[in-house]
Amino acid sequence: MNGPSLDVRPEVRESLPRVVALESTLITHGLPWPVNLETALAAQAAVRASGATPATIAVLAGQPTVGLTADELEALARHRQPVKLSERDLGVAVLRGQTGGTTVAATLALAHRAGVSVFATGGIGGVHRPLPAPSLRALPDVSADLFALTRYPLLVVCAGAKSILDLPATLELLESLGVLIAGYRTSEWPAFHLSSSQLPLAVRIDTPTEAFALYQAHRRLAAGAMLLAQPVAPELALDPSEYAAALAQAEARAKADGIAGPRLTPYLLAQLAELTAGRSLSANRELIVANAALAGQIARLFATA
């Protein structure tokens, strides 16, 4: 998509390889106004404070754009009907002149085409848990994020997979797909709003320098992305039993309201924010910013490689 179909802003082009890609569905679908804009701006500021350049990615009126300005972030955050764009939706969005937020999968695709090597997000998508009551679906709902991680060889800083998902199944599928996963200062797979899923990881990394070295070795010998999983700060993590009860209630509401497909994740996150009196929202915001800061520290090392 290089050329007129991909708008890579001058600051991003001139800063490569010291750039951190940031996704935009957290702005359009993951967080409510004005937390969405505040979080997006804070993530960009965290990348800059770490010595790197942020590049928030979205599609604006049919134009895939790498490196949104503050004014464009606000316009996106205020947009009344933004589209949720996975990788498969990008061509349609261009053709129809749509404005939308890019998921992990779509952001990976556009960031890779722009020459960006580091990407920070909150929690990746994964294998959904079945909703209460029997389902007629023969196959589970699996996020395209997992398969995009096999195609685009970025270093992705995340807080594990979203805790609304089937975490053991998600981790198993990632391992089957050959995606390298390392815990950042943890030996367990983080669980987004929860500090741990109790699922062990084979690789632990304790410094940005180690993360950079592992990524370089991985790129020389294997394909696909590297996930660097950083848990949410302990003081922000939700109590597991309280969270499980809130999630069960949110899933029951989703079933009653007939919510499925791309609408399910934002619906459940909004319900959890209500059911936890905003604590899940606070955790979500802070882990996004923390991941952006860590990604910035690693991206800075690319400039000296």
> Tell me: the pLDDT tens digits for 151-195?
999 999 999 998 889 999 999 999 999 999 999 999 999 999 998
Instruction: Assign residue 20 the CATH number of its domain.
Output: 3.40.1790.10
In which residue are the tokens 């990881």 written? 201
User: Which residues form the domain of 89?
Assistant: 7-302
Q: Find all residues with CB under 8 Å of 90, minimum gap 6, and list them.
A: 59, 64, 102, 106, 109, 110
As annotated, the active-site residues are 23, 162
| Beta carbons of 164 and 143 less than 8 angstroms apart | no
Distance, CA of 4 to CA of 2 (rounded, Å): 7
Residue 138 has a CB neighbour count (10 Å cut-off) of: 5
* DSSP helix/strand/coil, 228: strand
Residue 284 has which token pair?
């979500």
The answer to the question of residue 2 being in a domain is no
The answer to the question of residue 154 being in a domain is yes
248-252, 265-269, 284-288: lowest mean pLDDT where?
Answer: 265-269
This prediction has a pTM of 0.93
14-18, 95-99, 131-135, 148-152: lowest mean pLDDT where?
Answer: 131-135
The answer to the question of residue 1 being in a domain is no
Q: Is there a cis peptide before residue 34, judged by omega within 30 degrees of 0?
A: yes
Distance, CA of 276 to CA of 264 (rounded, Å): 18
The answer to the question of residue 266 being in a domain is yes
Q: How many domains does the chain have?
A: 1
